[in-house]
Amino acid sequence: ATWPRNSKTRLFGTKRGVEGNPLGTIAIYNDQGAIQNIDEKALHNTVQRISKILGYETYDVTLLLVDDEEMRETNLESRGINAPTDILSFPFLEAREPGLLEEPEFDVPDYYTLGDMMVDVPYVIRRCQEDSEGGFEDDDEDDRGVSGAMANVSDPEKRIHMLLIHGMLHLVGYDHEEEDEYEEMVEREEKILKELGYI
């Protein structure tokens, strides 16, 4: 059987820049209990809007909402850090440069995916509380980009939406390990924050 390329019903992402290709699938797995009625539809819409801004709206994305223990284990396995963090991103494709991914080697629908993001919801809640009390100090933090914008946001769900910008940029090849990479990523974060109305 041939895969119905012109069908609007599909399970996997499609090549970008082709008129008529449907939007990618955004899968959300809510495995946390800290925010009982988290608005998954709103999260879906934010990921979709960021994907469109980045030019990868036909690619699939997976978002996992987790607790501290799952994040700690994943952070240890993937980065060697035995502690939770707010967000981790796992890109599926290599980037030619920040914002431009290599085309999939084979034109197979399930290769058109940006990757996975994992958000530790209890961690985000704690950071909101710590920031509102002025009790969180981190020399690596900056007052620019998503980190700076979030510092004045006490609503954990709003912070998660802002973190998705950071996570999505990692999925399309942005990084912040070197100073020039950091500058490029922060500038892109700020543009998207403005476009989405967060700053």
CA–CA separation, 104 and 110 (whole Å): 10
- Residue 142: pLDDT above 60? yes
For 121, counting Cβ atoms within 10 Å of its Cβ (0-12 exposed, 13-18 middle, 19+ buried), the class is: buried
pLDDT at 135: 58
pLDDT number for residue 5: 36
- What is the rounded CA–CA span in Å between residue 113 and residue 130? 35
The predicted pLDDT at position 80 comes to: 96
Rounded alpha-carbon distances, angstroms, from residue 42 to 32, 49, 148, 158: 17, 10, 22, 10
Confidence of residue 106 (pLDDT cuts 50, 70, 90): confident
Bridging pattern class, strands 60-66 and 95-97: unpaired
- Residue whose entry in the numeric block shows the structure tokens 């958000």: 119
Q: List, in order, residues 6 or more apart from 86 with CB less than 8 Å away.
A: 119, 120, 123, 124, 127, 163
Stretch 65-92: mean pLDDT: 97
Mean pLDDT of 122-139: 80
Map residue 193 onto helix, strand or coil.
helix
Per residue in 4-55, pLDDT (tens digit) is 333 444 457 888 888 888 899 999 999 999 999 999 999 999 999 999 999 9
User: In the structure encoding, which two tokens stand for residue 112, read together?
Assistant: 């058109």
**In terms of pLDDT, which residue wins out, 162 or 136?**
162
Provide the pLDDT confidence category of residue 197 given band limits of 50, 70 and 90. Answer: very high
Question: Using 50, 70 and 90 to split pLDDT, how confident is the model at 146?
Answer: very high
Q: Report the alpha-carbon distance of residue 68 to residue 74 in Å, rounded.
A: 10
